[in-house]
Amino acid sequence: MTRVRMWVSGVARLLGADEQAAFDFALAVSEACTNVVRHAYAGQSEGRLIVTARRIGRRIIFRVRDFGAKFDPQKVRSPDLHGEPSVGGYGIYLMRRVMDRVYYGTGHPEGTELMLVRCRSR
């Protein structure tokens, strides 16, 4: 995921993101890609994943599109931040913390499309 983070950070900076926003996008997109590999493709070595980015005014939007098993965001429980720390289960929580908006598109015939939206700077 190091290459994904570097690419996302660079693209975010090209689109006008400040240093913190570029870091936040790199974190959120790499978490999303990790979730796709782990869940949508069940750890298989082959699977199509498309990551795109664009700027609209002050906002930057990254889209992560997979063609694996559909994701139902309603079934995700928030991590227990007060109990014993666990491995995994923090990806969506982190995405929601660092992004202004997180949208899931599940209307495609297969797979899921995730939109991560954040202002270029705060």
Q: Which residue has the higher pLDDT, 45 or 12?
A: 12
User: Long-range contacts: 7-13, Cβ < 8 Å, 24+?
Assistant: 7/51, 8/51, 8/53, 8/62, 11/53, 12/53, 12/60, 12/62
pLDDT of residue 1: 76
Mean pLDDT of 36-64: 93
Domain count, the chain: 1
- Tens of pLDDT, residues 100-122: 999 999 899 999 999 999 998 87
Alpha carbon 62 to chain centroid, angstroms: 8
Mean pLDDT across the chain: 89
Dihedral sign for Cα atoms in the order 59, 68, 95, 50: negative
Q: What angle do CA 121, 13, 41 make, to 5 degrees?
A: 100
Share of the chain above pLDDT 70, in %: 89
CATH code of the domain in which 44 resides: 3.30.565.10
pLDDT at residue 16, rounded to an integer: 96
Q: 81 falls in which pLDDT band (50, 70, 90)?
A: low
Overall average pLDDT of the 14-21 stretch: 96
Q: Which H or E run includes 5?
A: helix 2-14
Read off the pTM: 0.88
- Residue ranges making up the domain that contains 12: 2-119
List pLDDT tens digits, range 25-49: 999 999 999 999 988 999 787 899 9
